[in-house]
Amino acid sequence: MTTVAQQPQAAASVGAEAWLRMYRQMISIRLFEEQVNDLYTRALMPGLAHLYIGEEAVAVGVCQALRPDDYITSTHRGHGHCLAKGASPDRMFAELLGKEAGYCRGKGGSMHIADPATGNLGANAIVAGSVGIATGAAFSAKRLGNGRVCVCFFGEGALGQGSLYEVMNLAQLWKLPVIYVCENNLYNEYTHFSETTAGDIMGRATAFGIPAESVDGQDVRAVYRAASQLIERARLGNGPAFLVCNTYRYHGHHVGDINREYYRSKEEEQRWKAEHDPLKLLSRWLAEQGLAAPADLERIHSEVKKEIEAAVNFAIAAPYPSPDEVEQDIYA
Amino acid sequence: MPEKGRELTFAQAIREALAEEMRRDPLVCIIGEDVAEAGTPFKVLSGLVEEFGKERVIDTPISEAGFTGLGVGAAMTGLHPVVDIMFGDFITLTMDQMVNQAAKVHYMSGGAWKVPMVMRTTLGATRRSAAQHSQSLHAWFSHVPGLKVVLPSTPYDAKGLLKTAIRDQNPVVFFEDKMMYKLKGPVPEEDYTIPFGVADVKREGEDITLVATSSMVQVALGAAAMLEESGVSAEVIDPRTTWPLDEKTLVESAKKTSRVIVLDEGYGRYGVTAELAAVIAEGAFYDLDAPVRRMGAMHVPIPFSPPLEDVTVATEQSVFEAARRLCGKS
State the CATH number of the domain containing residue B309.
3.40.50.920
Within this chain, do residues B108 and B164 fall inside the same structural domain, yes or no? Answer: yes
Task: Name, in order, each residue with C-beta under 8 angstroms of A79's C-beta and a sequence gap of 6 or more.
Answer: A29, A32, A33, A36, A49, A51, A52, A92, A110, A113
Q: Is the dihedral of CA A178, A183, A187, A189 positive or negative?
A: negative
CB contact under 8 A, B74 and A71: no
For residue B117, which of B77, B58, B158 has the smallest C-alpha distance? B77
Per-residue pLDDT band at B330 (split at 50, 70, 90): confident
Q: Could you give the ipTM of this predicted complex?
A: 0.95
d(CA B187, CA B158): 10
User: Does residue B195 fall inside a structural domain?
Assistant: no
Q: How far out from the chain centre does Cα B33 lie?
A: 21
For residue B102, which of B163, B139, B138, B147 has the smallest C-alpha distance? B147
Chain B nearest CA to A68, separation (Å)? 15
Within this chain, do residues B216 and B151 fall inside the same structural domain, yes or no? Answer: no
pLDDT digits (tens, 9 = 90+) for A199-247: 999 999 999 999 999 999 999 999 999 999 999 999 999 999 999 999 9
Could you tell me if A122 and A72 are in contact, meaning their C-beta atoms sit under 8 angstroms apart?
Answer: no
**pLDDT at B217 > cutoff 70:** yes
Within this chain, do residues B212 and B290 fall inside the same structural domain, yes or no? Answer: yes
Label residue B229 exposed, middle or buried (CB < 10 Å: 0-12, 13-18, 19+): exposed
Q: What is the dihedral of CA B198, B199, B201, B205, to 10 degrees?
A: -130
CB contact under 8 A, A122 and B105: yes
Within this chain, do residues B148 and B38 fall inside the same structural domain, yes or no? Answer: yes
User: Does residue B143 fall inside a structural domain?
Assistant: yes
Within this chain, do residues B211 and B179 fall inside the same structural domain, yes or no? Answer: no
By Cβ distance, the residue of A112, A129, A170 closest to B70 is A170
By Cβ distance, the residue of B73, B111, B170 closest to A137 is B73
* Overall number of domains in chain B: 2
For residue B311, the model assigns a pLDDT of 95
Chain A nearest CA to B300, separation (Å)? 30
Per-residue pLDDT band at B35 (split at 50, 70, 90): very high
Could you tell me if B226 and B205 are in contact, meaning their C-beta atoms sit under 8 angstroms apart?
Answer: no
By Cβ distance, the residue of B76, B101, B109 closest to A108 is B109
Q: Measure Cα distances from A199 to A181, A202, A206, A244 in Å.
A: 18, 9, 13, 15
User: Does residue B146 fall inside a structural domain?
Assistant: yes
Domain boundary among the residues B151, B186, B221 is at B186
Chain A nearest CA to B81, separation (Å)? 10
User: Does residue B314 fall inside a structural domain?
Assistant: yes
User: Does residue B317 fall inside a structural domain?
Assistant: yes
Q: How far out from the chain centre does Cα B72 lie?
A: 21
Within this chain, do residues B72 and B152 fall inside the same structural domain, yes or no? Answer: yes
User: Does residue B193 fall inside a structural domain?
Assistant: no
CATH code where residue B146 lies: 3.40.50.970
Q: What is the dihedral of CA B88, B93, B96, B102, to 10 degrees?
A: -50
Q: What is the largest CA-CA distance in chain A?
A: 57
For residue B1, the model assigns a pLDDT of 59
Domain boundary among the residues B128, B152, B186 is at B186
CB contact under 8 A, B69 and A132: yes
The verdict on whether B133 is a catalytic residue reads yes
Mean of the per-residue pLDDT values of chain A: 95
Q: Which of residues 143-202 of B touch A (CB under 8 A)?
A: 145-146, 148, 169-170
With a threshold of 0.90, does the pTM exceed it?
Answer: yes
Within this chain, do residues B209 and B150 fall inside the same structural domain, yes or no? Answer: no
Across A281-286, average pLDDT:
96
Task: Name, in order, each residue with C-beta under 8 angstroms of A126's C-beta and a sequence gap of 6 or more.
Answer: B96, B100, B101
User: Does residue B52 fall inside a structural domain?
Assistant: yes
For residue A4, the model assigns a pLDDT of 45
Within this chain, do residues B141 and B219 fall inside the same structural domain, yes or no? Answer: no
pLDDT digits (tens, 9 = 90+) for A157-183: 999 999 999 999 999 999 999 999 999
Domain enclosing residue B284, as ranges? 200-325
For residue B5, the model assigns a pLDDT of 84
Per-residue pLDDT band at B183 (split at 50, 70, 90): very high
| All domains in chain A, ordered by first residue | 16-318 (3.40.50.970)
Within this chain, do residues B315 and B205 fall inside the same structural domain, yes or no? Answer: yes
Which residues of chain A does B145 touch, with a Cβ-Cβ cutoff of 8 Å?
Answer: 330
Taking the CB of residue B24, how many other CB atoms lie within 10 A of it? 13
**pLDDT at A10 > cutoff 50:** no
Domain boundary among the residues B157, B186, B215 is at B186
User: Does residue B3 fall inside a structural domain?
Assistant: no
Q: Helix, strand, or coil here: B118?
A: strand
Own/partner contacts of A162-166, CB < 8 Å, gap of 24 or more, are A162/B65, A163/A128, A163/A131, A163/A132, A163/B65, A163/B66, A163/B69, A163/B96, A163/B97, A164/A128, A164/A131, A165/A204, A165/A208, A166/B61, A166/B63, A166/B65, A166/B66, A166/B67, A166/B69
Q: How far out from the chain centre does Cα A70 lie?
A: 14
d(CA B117, CA A244): 32
| % of chain A with per-residue pLDDT over 70 | 96
Within this chain, do residues B162 and B25 fall inside the same structural domain, yes or no? Answer: yes
CB contact under 8 A, B101 and A130: yes
Taking the CB of residue A13, how many other CB atoms lie within 10 A of it? 7
Within this chain, do residues B34 and B82 fall inside the same structural domain, yes or no? Answer: yes
Could you tell me if A204 and A240 are in contact, meaning their C-beta atoms sit under 8 angstroms apart?
Answer: no
d(CA B65, CA B48): 24
Within this chain, do residues B180 and B204 fall inside the same structural domain, yes or no? Answer: no
**pLDDT at B44 > cutoff 60:** yes
For residue B14, which of B183, B242, B199 has the smallest C-alpha distance? B183
d(CA A57, CA A242): 17
Which residues of chain B does A326 touch, with a Cβ-Cβ cutoff of 8 Å?
Answer: none
Chain A nearest CA to B128, separation (Å)? 30
Label residue B286 exposed, middle or buried (CB < 10 Å: 0-12, 13-18, 19+): exposed
For residue A6, the model assigns a pLDDT of 43
